[in-house]
Amino acid sequence: MSASIEQKTRSAYLWTRLLSVPFWGLISLLSMILYKDMQISPLQITLILTLKPMSALLAPYWSQAIHQKPHRLLSNMVWANILRFLPFLFMPWISSAWVIILAFGAYMMLYRGVIPAWMETIKCNMPPQQGEKLISFGSTIDYCGTALLPFGLGILLDQYEQSWRWLFPLTAGLGLISTLFLLRIPRIKNEQEPPPHQGFWQIFKETAVNPWKQSWGLVRENSGFAAYQIGFMLGGAGLMIMQPALPIFFVDVLNLSYTNMLLALTAFKGIGVVIASPFWLKLFQKRDIYYFSGLVTALAGLFPLFLLGAQFNPLLLYAAYALYGIMQSGSELSWHMSGPIFAKEKESTLYSGTNVLTVGIRGCIVPALGALLFSMTNSTTIILLGSLFCFLSNRYLMNYSKKLKFIVNKSIS
């Protein structure tokens, strides 16, 4: 493997993550920005929170274009990077909250849709251990960068009304610059024969049906991968079900300013990621993915309990998001690397695409369920329910890890 190819891939990945940091930090506050400055309805808040995971249902259609077509990996990443930032250049002239929400949905779809292309490019261009280190370091860059945002973006948002309208195009422009680094990645040659000419219905079947059919077939054939999906589904549901209650909880219950929200959501979360990343990387190389993910979901279960404690001690809000950062660091490593791990020597795009698709399925159901339950109960109940789901995920994954060890030990003896 050429050192030049490895270096260019690493450089492109890290610059893409780094230049996207300011935009990501800003868009993470979108529901709270629109709630405070445009008085959007609870329905619109729920839609924003639902679109983030639900966009994953459309993401596989973007990644389907690269399945068994390695020569398309680069163009897939380049166009996704351009199109996801482009609408936000026009934010100062957009007066409809619905248009902003639509642009957000498109951004999230492309953000998730390009993940399989990235994972396959890293798998092809880098040794496995170097790829794991790159994913972990990329997450560290994200959170280190966002940890500095409260000292700039937070102050601007609090001091200057409507300043977010100009911050969005500025940060989106930085994200677009990262396209230049993507163009430096060498193209992966296609060693397969070009596909035969297809009619309209064949193309429709391939683009509309195949992602679901292939993912379902993969889960049915690979019981280990299916168990991983179930465990991650439960843990993700726990974090997702509480999301509709959080903007109102932050604004109306905790009375947080933009600076305080950014301190919690970015700075302290970033501190958690930085502290935990080296630990997670070492553990990932020693333990099976089920045990590793079980530890991640145990921390996810503690996060809502700290969050509720912030009503009585404001410092617990920052402790909660530091804990969330520690959890997120492990979660991203597990989720991103699960495709290459389960694929082994095979192409990993289908595994990574299935990960994205299951996030979308969860996103269709869980936030809406959370919003419904929130309308009938209160934020405390919903946040506690989220904790319960995460601990159920922890038990399921840990039990599967023990079962796997038992089978291995039995076969050896």
Going residue by residue through the chain, which has 413 residues, state the pLDDT in tens, using 9 for 90 and above.
466 878 888 888 888 888 888 888 788 778 778 877 787 776 787 788 777 777 767 776 676 555 556 667 788 888 888 999 999 999 989 888 899 999 998 898 888 878 777 777 887 777 777 777 787 777 777 666 666 665 667 677 777 777 888 989 999 999 999 899 888 887 765 444 445 544 444 545 555 666 677 778 888 888 888 999 999 999 999 998 988 888 778 877 887 777 777 777 777 887 888 788 888 988 988 888 999 999 999 999 999 999 999 888 888 988 999 999 899 889 988 888 888 888 877 777 778 778 877 877 887 788 888 888 888 888 889 999 999 999 999 999 999 998 876 554 444 44
Q: What is the pLDDT of residue 407?
A: 55
Q: Which domain holds residue 318?
A: 3-183+210-412
Buried b (16+ CB within 10 A) or exposed e, 78-115: bbbbeebbebbeebeebeebeebbebbbbbbbbbbbbb
Q: What is the pLDDT of residue 411?
A: 45
Task: Please give the single-letter amino acid code of residue 172.
Answer: A
What Cα–Cα distance (Å) separates residue 400 from each residue in 226, 321, 393?
A: 11, 28, 11
d(CA 84, CA 77): 11
5, two tokens: 């190819």
Look up the CATH number of the domain holding residue 322. Answer: 1.20.1250.20
In a domain, 87, yes or no: yes
- Residue pair 173/86 in contact (Cβ under 8 Å)? The answer is no
d(CA 103, CA 95): 13
Q: What is the pLDDT of residue 89?
A: 93
In a domain, 235, yes or no: yes
Angle value at C-alpha 148, between 313 and 118, nearest 5 degrees: 110
What Cα–Cα distance (Å) separates residue 256 from each residue in 287, 335, 397?
A: 40, 31, 36
Contacts of 218 (CB under 8 A, 6+ apart): 225, 350, 351, 354
In a domain, 356, yes or no: yes
In a domain, 205, yes or no: no
Residue with tokens 């990077």: 81
Q: What is the pLDDT of residue 133?
A: 77
* pTM for the model: 0.67
Which residue from 59, 353, 114 is spatially nearest to 216, judged by alpha carbons?
A: 353
Residue 368 burial (10 A CB sphere; 0-12, 13-18, 19+):
middle
Which residue from 188, 191, 211 is spatially nearest to 123, judged by alpha carbons?
A: 188
d(CA 112, CA 73): 14
Number of Cα atoms under 13 Å in the Cβ half of residue 120: 29
In a domain, 347, yes or no: yes
- Residue pair 351/339 in contact (Cβ under 8 Å)? The answer is yes
d(CA 409, CA 401): 12
Q: What is the pLDDT of residue 304?
A: 93
In a domain, 163, yes or no: yes
In a domain, 199, yes or no: no
Number of structural domains (the chain) is: 1
170, two tokens: 């500025």
185, two tokens: 């990645």
The Cα diameter of the chain in Å comes to 70
Task: Please give the single-letter amino acid code of residue 5.
Answer: I
In a domain, 27, yes or no: yes
Residue with tokens 């404690």: 309
**Helix locations, 254-378, DSSP H:** 258-262, 269-284, 289-309, 315-343, 349-376
Q: What is the pLDDT of residue 200?
A: 41
d(CA 211, CA 386): 29
Residue 43 burial (10 A CB sphere; 0-12, 13-18, 19+):
exposed
